Amino acid sequence: MRIGPVTLANRLFAAPMAGVTDRPFRMLCKRLGAGYAVSEMVTSRRELWGSLKTSRRADHAGESEPIAVQIAGTDAAMMAEAAAYNVARGAQVIDINMGCPAKKVCSKWAGSALMRDEALAAQIIDAVVAVCRPREVPVTLKMRTGWCESERNAVRLARLAEDAGVAMVTVHGRTREQGYGGQAEYDTIAAVKKAVAIPVVANGDIDSPQKARAVLEATGADAIMIGRAAQGRPWIFREIAHFLATGQELPAPETLQAKAWLVEHLHDHLGLYGETSGVRSARKHIGWAVRGLPGGEAFRAAMNRIDDGAAQLRAVADYFDRLADIHPRLPATSRAANDDLLARPA
């Protein structure tokens, strides 16, 4: 699997998720089998590049290659500048966001709104490719199937992107209007794959090895991208890799192994964000990690009252130690009789 000149370890990608796929989480996904992980989007607004949030997003220290940065905005010149800025900071792939449904980028509709304005989308693509090509950095595009049911133009946009020099397109199988509701559809992704020669990545609702195989078969895509199903379960990448290679399911991870991955992740997380803000932003990762586990909900609620990094790490370790006594491997069940035993952080 290649993106222009960049070779990837496999065809299992971690989706960019703002507020989630920061460097520690991307590194964890890559360690657990993702061949590629795109950063959270970085705004094209220059005045924000110095902000703590954006500079953290542009920090790739220690991350395994390739470094892929997603940029978002609505102005071609600003997007080109953002691409150059991120390439100078180590980006080896620049991804243009045309899929985000939120009205938050530049206080304007950016992201998927660009799908509605193909002329502007083309301008942005041209400008970003023009900046990246001399630096031998491939440009990729992430989009939805269209703006709404009656405006499904993913195929047209993918062709436009390919003609403009884009090296890969990812399609989330929903329209912008759908947000995250309903179900992703894969027919449009299959149509995009048929329409272009560049690699196509299928995304949306892939949450198991079986689904991964089904989506690859249904779309003919070159790769698949997983977002929400990796939250709290980053080992889904190696589960999928194993299943695609052997047709067999991996057993659930050992509980103590899952604990070790989470604790390591939390250390990295606190290292990037510092204790005060890190303890708070780590809570969502912890919440996802214990979701559906015995006593998980009560533990998550108790965890939200801890403001100290060391205490947070101790509580997490203690929860998983107690869980391991009962379940040597992570249980798939959502409720167990020993809820109370596991609920309280030590």
Catalytic residues: 100
* Integer angstrom CA distances of residue 266 from 146, 262, 312, 339: 37, 6, 9, 24
Among 140, 178, 203, 255, binds ligand FMN (CB under 6 A): 203
**Least Cβ distance, residue 326 to ligand FMN (angstroms):** 30
Contact status: 116 vs ligand FMN (CB under 6 A): no
Contact status: 3 vs ligand FMN (CB under 6 A): no
Contact status: 22 vs ligand FMN (CB under 6 A): no
Contact status: 82 vs ligand FMN (CB under 6 A): no
How far from chain centre, in Å, is Cα 71? 14
Among 205, 135, 185, 193, smallest CA distance to 168 is for 193
Contact status: 178 vs ligand FMN (CB under 6 A): no
- Main-chain dihedrals φ then ψ at residue 333, nearest 5 degrees: -75, 160
- In the complex with ligand FMN, the residue whose CB is nearer, 95 or 268, is 95
- In the complex with ligand FMN, the residue whose CB is nearer, 142 or 193, is 142
Structural Rg of the chain based on CA atoms: 20
Contact status: 206 vs ligand FMN (CB under 6 A): yes
Where does this chain touch ligand FMN (CB under 6 A) — which range of 14-22, 245-253, 311-319, 334-342?
14-22
Exposure of 295 in the CB half-sphere (CA atoms within 13 A):
22
Q: Look at strands 12-14 and 6-7 and give their pairing.
A: unpaired
How far from chain centre, in Å, is Cα 103? 19
Where does this chain touch ligand FMN (CB under 6 A) — which range of 13-21, 84-92, 187-195, 243-251?
13-21
Please tell me the count of residues contacting ligand FMN according to CB under 6 A: 22
Query: Cis bond leading into 234, ω under 30°?
Result: no
Contact status: 79 vs ligand FMN (CB under 6 A): no
Contact status: 41 vs ligand FMN (CB under 6 A): yes
Q: Which amino acid is at 55?
A: S
In angstroms, the CA 296 to CA 305 distance is 15
| Euclidean distance between the first and the last CA atom of the chain, given in angstroms as a whole number | 46
Where does this chain touch ligand FMN (CB under 6 A) — which range of 113-121, 191-199, 227-235, 324-332?
227-235
Among 22, 40, 81, 162, binds ligand FMN (CB under 6 A): 40
Under the rule (CB under 6 A), what is the footprint of ligand FMN? 15-20, 40-41, 70, 97, 99-100, 142, 172, 203-206, 226-229
